[in-house]
Amino acid sequence: MKHHFVTLLCPLLTATAFIGCGSGNTPQVPTQPSPISITQSFSGTLTVNGAQTHSFTVDRAGTVSAQVKSLSDQAATLGVSLGTYNGSACAIIISKTDAALNSSVAGTAQSTGQFCVWVNDVGKLTSGLDYTIDVTHY
């Protein structure tokens, strides 16, 4: 009889020991990585009464901004607009008609796709203007 008691007791103690080995920590749920912004620089020469379109691809919904980074005439103002691009034209969504050096225009891309920045003379240029625009998006 004593032998049967020991035979039953060993598996019971082993099972109890394994039950007690569980962790009290809750499982860690992976978090989404923070999106990384992309900055693209576009440069060109804006002629009197002229305009330039630069297209870019947004890979993730979020803020889109365009900032005037350099102008050959630092006192000049121009138009800077953001919009969607269909392959041939920029459909303006948000615009700033008095953009000076370091000024910006910003909006929110609700989805991914082709977007554009449109730079134009708003009637104030008397000669060509070299510019650089930085566009930041996700």
Residue 92 lies in a domain: yes
Cβ–Cβ < 8 Å for 109, 58? yes
Domain that holds residue 122: 38-137
What is this structure's pTM?
Answer: 0.76
Which pLDDT score is estimated for 33?
Answer: 79
Question: If DSSP codes are grouped into helix, strand and coil, which group holds residue 74?
Answer: coil
Domain-embedded: residue 13: no
Burial annotation 94-111 (CB, 10 A radius, 16+ → b, else e): ebbeebeeeebbebebee
For 17, 28, 39, 80, the CA distances from 36, given in Å and listed in that order, are 48, 23, 10, 24
| 2 occurs within a structural domain | no
Collapse the DSSP code of 77 into the 3-class scheme (helix H, G, I; strand E, B; otherwise coil) and give the result. coil
Q: What is the pLDDT of residues 95-105, one digit of tens each?
A: 999 999 999 99
Tens digits of residue pLDDT in 120-136: 999 999 999 999 999 99
Q: How many structural domains compose the chain? A: 1
* Residue listed under structure tokens 């730079």: 119
The pLDDT mean for the chain works out to 87
Residue 94 has pLDDT above 50, yes or no: yes
The confidence score (pLDDT) of residue 12 equals 47
User: Higher-confidence residue: 69 or 17?
Assistant: 69
In a domain, 54, yes or no: yes
CATH number reported for the structural domain that contains residue 51 in this entry: 2.60.120.380
